[in-house]
Chain A
Amino acid sequence: MSTAEARLEVLTRINRAKEGAQTPERPPYPRAAAQTREEVLHTFQDRIEDYRAGFVRVAPPGLLEAVRTALGGARRVVVPGGLDAVWLPDGLDVRRDEPFLTHAELDGADAVVTGCAVAVATTGTIILDHGPGQGRRVLTLVPDLHVCIIRADQIVPDVLDGVQAVAAAVRAGRPLTWISGGSATSDIELVRVEGVHGPRRLQVIVVDGPAWRGRG
């Protein structure tokens, strides 16, 4: 068996099969009516709460307290390289993913705190492009609690806005993780169970205010 031979044959079959197939005209992408920033933020909050994830919206001075509250009893906290240290309250056992933590170390952590690349209001989706402040994919996967800090100006109205916002990252070869609420299953009698393999709890903190100039 040769995959080169298979490749040639599959391509030949396709070229034979698609003879006469026309490339159809594509209709324009339908867009929703423009929304105010407040409407967008409100929709995002509604969706996150609908997923039964934690949501809080704070002005920059309230961030530390919000992170503390979101972490609850979690003490061993993992953070990605590039996460702004000012986001983290004192008194935590913080492990920075520099050098890379092992799977076992991650499994022993209570929580992870990250930023995000962009967030989509209509679907309540947080998109990580795993750039600075977001870390490797495994960081937001293994610990049981994910605290995600989102700047209000990172929240866009629709899926297409989100896709466009991370286009450059994808073209640069970066992986993406889309998160819409916590891990969940409906496999048993379609009863939704929150928390299966990924983080069982998601806490979203939206930071909003003119003085805010965080990074992430």
Chain B
Amino acid sequence: MKIDLFITCLNDALFPQTGQATVALLERLGHEVRFNAAQTCCGQMHLNTGYRTDALSLVRKFVDDFRDAEVIVLPSGSCAAMLRELAPDAAHWEGDEALRDEVRALSGRIFELSEFLVKKLGVTDVGAAYPHRVTYHPTCHAMRSLHVGDAPLQLLRNVRGLTLLELPHADECCGFGGTFSVKNPDVSTAMLADKARHILETGAEACTAGDNSCLMHIGGGLHRLRSGARTVHLAEILASTEAKVWA
């Protein structure tokens, strides 16, 4: 399959290894991965902070950049949710029905990485090896907007050497919420404190998730606490093999 990668702005700038791991993983599974270098951002941060016009110009750009894609894979649940769920609504709010229709027409081809592997490709064992104790945090958008369900867990259960530890209160938000984390830092921190406590309770070395935005927040907290636990994107675990460890 020809897969167009929408790497997302955050991964591009701050977490390139996630994108590299995604490429490695998809190529290992025998697919052709393409990266259109014109791409930038889905507009989620702008939309969620209340800057609709700015957001929609980025949605428009996304549509232009990916119009001809066969499938578009994102190593991010929240950006996938933005494009599939929110972008059409936002276009409608601004009266741009043409953009709404165009982004809707693309939405069936937009996949978050774990749902692409499990639901679209039907693969649950990607041949990965990762000999670590790991707990999984289901991010809100993947869980409630995309309904990826246990797809990430199915993938993790088939990783050689990986000990999967169940995260207590897993379905509670970590407190990131985009600009919420800087505009309401106290509540965000209080939520993070509980998430960090639950992660540490599992005794895991690493917490994984399908979204580097949430992981940046959780990981930043774990690091500040000098907790010794770290975060790692799901793609980096799934890309890892006995020969090459990605994270």
Direct contact of A and B (CB under 8 A): no
Which residues in A have some Cβ–Cβ distance to B below 8 Å? none
